[in-house]
């Protein structure tokens, strides 16, 4: 355990990647020092770090770690080796497009260098990290402008500082709305099977003294009916060109509920999460994770051994259920292919 605690979940310090181990929260705050591409890959795959933008930032630093190892070689061999590492990192998780987006940016940066690319890659990774924080703050303000005084909101999964370079997407909007005195309280869904809501979102909100009611995922409809919830606010792992949204499993059910019950549904995602190569949600690969996430809670068995398990960890919410998509480039109300294309042509 590192004694001098970094103040971010992802930190690049003295040419080392330091990651808050999110698997251990909220009980234990422990940081891992990552010095190899293999460890960067494992950290993403095994969810030491998770959340689409955070995965992208981590992978970018992974490329710098690769460059540190290979930059003593001649330029041609170094580039070859770094490209192999980029290809490996891109396979760590399939759904969050920020991973491939960040790696492509690092690859372009490397290919544009005439000499030693280490400094350029390090600066690019830091820029990806800082730009993500700036985007989150901009989205926080824009999203908060949609929220009325005295509002109550619901969020799903963790789209906070832990899931991004810092500040958060959905939680960024919640943070900003709270700072403007507009929020009464937040319902945080526990988010089975990995408990991002109870372990991470409730932890982040509690630290900021934002009033949080934790509920089981299955209590969402009752909470929406029993309490005056104005907005459901979520992040995204990938937004297709037509506005379909891949996000944590359970998001789709919430969007259907919102439509049925007349609640507003907001998606908050930087443009690095929008994948113009996925024309609609069916083009998005949905990650399937292992059975143990469903059959166990920690080490405790919660299911019969003979049951088969289906564990898709994301789902796709059709664009028609989204009232507004908040990006750092602007808000897209009732998203569609043409409105999203316009966002990129501004
Ligand atoms: O499996 P995870 O924890 O990586 O899933 C994270 C989510 O689904 C988040 O809602 C999404 O990445 C948005 S994070 C700003």
Q: Which of 48, 52, 325 to mutate to test ligand 1, by most ligand atoms within 8 A of the CB atom?
A: 52
From 267, 263, 251, 240, select the one nearest 313 (Cα to Cα): 251
Tell me the CA–centroid distance for residue 234 and ligand 1, in Å. Answer: 9
Ligand 1 atom nearest to CA at 196 = 3
Q: Is 196 in the pocket of ligand 1 (CB under 6 A)?
A: yes
Q: Which of 49, 53, 236 to mutate to test ligand 1, by most ligand atoms within 8 A of the CB atom?
A: 236
Put simply, whether the predicted model's pTM sits higher than 0.85 gets the answer yes
Tell me the CA–centroid distance for residue 119 and ligand 1, in Å. Answer: 30
Which residues, 6+ apart, have CB-to-CB distance to 1 below 8 Å?
A: 30, 31
Which residues, 6+ apart, have CB-to-CB distance to 60 below 8 Å?
A: 102, 103, 105, 106, 124, 125, 128, 129
What pLDDT does 2 receive? 41
- Please, what are the averages of pLDDT over each run of 10 residues along the chain (346 residues)? 60 97 96 98 98 98 97 89 98 98 97 88 98 98 98 98 97 98 97 98 96 98 96 98 98 98 98 98 98 96 96 98 98 98 92
Tell me the CA–centroid distance for residue 124 and ligand 1, in Å. Answer: 23
Give the residue whose CA is nearest to atom 8 of ligand 1. 248
Q: Which of 156, 248, 250, 270 to mutate to test ligand 1, by most ligand atoms within 8 A of the CB atom?
A: 248
How far apart CA 239 and CA 270 sit, in angstroms, is: 10
Tell me the CA–centroid distance for residue 237 and ligand 1, in Å. Answer: 6
CATH T-level topology, domain 10-135: 1.20.120
Tell me the CA–centroid distance for residue 260 and ligand 1, in Å. Answer: 25
Length of the chain: 346
Q: Is 103 in the pocket of ligand 1 (CB under 6 A)?
A: no
Q: Is 37 in the pocket of ligand 1 (CB under 6 A)?
A: no
Q: Is 52 in the pocket of ligand 1 (CB under 6 A)?
A: yes
Q: 140-344 falls under which CATH superfamily?
A: Translation initiation factor eif-2b; domain 2 (3.40.50.10470)
Q: Is 247 in the pocket of ligand 1 (CB under 6 A)?
A: yes
How far apart CA 130 and CA 273 sit, in angstroms, is: 16
What pLDDT does 314 receive? 98
Catalytic residues: 237
CA angle (301, 49, 164) in 5-degree steps: 130
Q: Is 51 in the pocket of ligand 1 (CB under 6 A)?
A: yes
From 274, 57, 236, 240, select the one nearest 159 (Cα to Cα): 236
What pLDDT does 7 receive? 60
How far apart CA 314 and CA 267 sit, in angstroms, is: 15
Residues of the chain within CATH 1.20.120.420 domain(s) are: 10-135
Q: Is 163 in the pocket of ligand 1 (CB under 6 A)?
A: yes
Residues of the chain within CATH 3.40.50.10470 domain(s) are: 140-344
Tell me the CA–centroid distance for residue 339 and ligand 1, in Å. Answer: 24
């Amino acid at each position: 355990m590192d004694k001098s605690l970094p103040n971010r979940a992802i930190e690049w310090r003295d040419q080392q990647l330091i990651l808050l181990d999110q698997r251990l929260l909220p009980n234990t705050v422990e940081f891992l020092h990552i010095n190899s591409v293999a460890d960067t890959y494992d950290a993403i795959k095994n969810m030491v770090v998770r959340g689409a933008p955070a995965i992208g930032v981590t992978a970018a630093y992974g490329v710098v770690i690769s460059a540190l190892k290979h930059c003593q070689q001649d330029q041609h061999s170094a580039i070859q080796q770094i490209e192999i590492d980029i290809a490996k990192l891109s396979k760590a998780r399939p759904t969050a497009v920020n991973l491939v987006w960040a790696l492509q940016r690092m690859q372009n940066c490397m290919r544009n260098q005439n000499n030693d690319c280490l400094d350029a890659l390090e600066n690019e990774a830091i820029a990806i990290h800082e730009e993500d924080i700036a985007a989150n703050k901009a989205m926080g303000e824009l999203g908060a402008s949609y929220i009325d005084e005295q509002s109550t909101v619901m969020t799903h999964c963790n789209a906070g500082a832990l899931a991004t370079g810092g500040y958060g997407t959905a939680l960024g909007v919640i943070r900003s709305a709270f700072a403007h005195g507009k929020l009464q309280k937040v319902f945080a869904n526990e988010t089975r099977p990995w408990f991002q809501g109870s372990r991470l979102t409730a932890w982040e909100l509690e630290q900021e003294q934002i009033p949080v009611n934790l509920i089981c995922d299955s209590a969402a409809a009752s909470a929406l009916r029993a309490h005056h919830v104005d907005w459901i606010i979520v992040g995204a792992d990938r937004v297709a060109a037509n506005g379909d949204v891949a996000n944590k499993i359970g998001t789709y059910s919430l969007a259907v509920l919102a439509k049925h019950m007349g609640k507003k549904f907001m998606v908050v995602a930087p443009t690095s999460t929008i994948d113009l190569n996925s024309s609609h949600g069916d083009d998005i690969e949905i990650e399937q994770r292992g059975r143990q996430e469903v059959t166990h809670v920690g080490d405790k068995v919660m299911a019969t051994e003979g049951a088969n398990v289906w564990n898709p960890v994301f789902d796709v919410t059709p664009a028609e259920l989204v009232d507004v998509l908040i990006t750092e480039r602007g808000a897209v109300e009732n998203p569609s292919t043409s409105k999203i294309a316009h966002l990129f042509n501004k």
